[in-house]
A and B are shown apart, each in its own frame.
Chain A
């Protein structure tokens, strides 16, 4: 399961959160912190970065939930996850990864070398991808974002997103030893 179970918030609880009620906002945090962390952890390289993204996401949620115009928990989930994805991608862009990757391929530390002799499990293979490729494959194939969404979030083109996805699958296929003989 990639989704952490979330407690369902009813419309009243959402309305209270939108009014700035701190207890209702805590309810939003309790309902969604697992989902947000799971997403952030798959995109970020470290646990600490994912925790930062978790905190920044919910601070943004608290500040901005008054502007949330969707109806019901489903759209709230999508809204919060989009904030989380945006924060996680911003984290990748920041100093720690600026020199190593910065949404460019082929430079992340210890990542993306087409080592044909290697055979990894899926977790390890995923973490071996470049930050960008890992983010794209996760957002597209697991979270269901379109290439247009990803391009917008990353400030890149749709073809960039597609090529990252293609490279990611080529590498995963090799590292998982799935190549046909």
Chain B
């Protein structure tokens, strides 16, 4: 009769409580396989007993510096959004006449509509709690780039409100802002469906 010893796969399965009935039966009858299983246990015990490797340098200052820099960036963008949102609310409350007059007459309704859309996206973004997020490095970079670009557009919107500019230029800036906000919301929405850690 041919006598086949347990394979490593089978011994690992037995160790993990998943051994087949045939393998377990064989183990009962085979001293050699029992010794092999014992060596497997000893090997794992030796792995667990390896000395802990200690970090050669303290990295907290580097972690703290990067974290605080990111946090400052987020606060700056949030502050810009908040002030713009407030400006939008005031503008809408007074019928937008003052703000739009800086742009020229006409498409007040288009501007109002764009500002409302921007505000809606901003409200949506807050539901994703952007300040308490889990994201990998690639997503974090994408978010940072988008936030920087939004901040840039916000600065340009603030500038053109001070001077008389063609209405299309103002509308175009708000469209850019909406496009960027929309992308940012999508990034956060995608991230929030990812059960990372």
Contacts and interface: CB of A to CB of B under 8 A. Distances in A.
Contact of A33 (B35, B59, B66): B59
B133 A178 contact: no
Interface in B1-54: 7-9, 12, 32, 35-36, 39-40, 43-44, 46-54
Interface stretch (A54-62, A96-104, A105-113): A54-62
Contact of A55 (B40, B47, B56, B59): B59
Interface residues of B, number: 45
- The B contact surface, by secondary structure, is helix
A2 B67 contact: no
A78 to B, nearest CB: 10
B134 interface: yes
Nearest to A123: B50
Contact of B55 (A37, A42, A66): A37
Interface in B38-83: 39-40, 43-44, 46-60, 62-64, 66-68, 70-71
A66 B9 CA distance: 42
Interface string A30-52: 10011001100110000100110
A26 B43 CA distance: 36
Contacts of B67: 22, 25, 59, 62-63
Contact of A63 (B9, B40, B134): B134
A126 B43 CA distance: 11
A101 B132 CA distance: 35
A162 to B, nearest CB: 7
Given A67-B132, A169-B43, A173-B39, A2 B50 contact: yes
- The A contact surface, by secondary structure, is helix
A56 B133 contact: no
A4 B35 contact: no
Nearest to A3: B52
B44 A141 contact: yes
Interface in A162-181: 162, 165-166, 169-170, 172-173, 176, 178, 180
A150 interface: no
B121 interface: no
A59 B48 CA distance: 28
A166 B39 CA distance: 14
Given A22-B67, A50-B55, 19 more contacts: A1-B49, A1-B51, A2-B48, A22-B64, A26-B60, A30-B60, A37-B54, A58-B60, A62-B67, A63-B134, A64-B132, A67-B134, A86-B197, A122-B47, A137-B47, A141-B44, A166-B8, A178-B39, A180-B32
11 contacts: A22-B64, A47-B56, A51-B56, A58-B59, A66-B129, A79-B197, A122-B46, A142-B44, A166-B9, A170-B8, A178-B43
Query: Across chains A and B, which 6 residue pairs bring their CB atoms closest together, nearest first?
Result: A66-B132, A64-B134, A37-B55, A41-B53, A62-B67, A58-B63
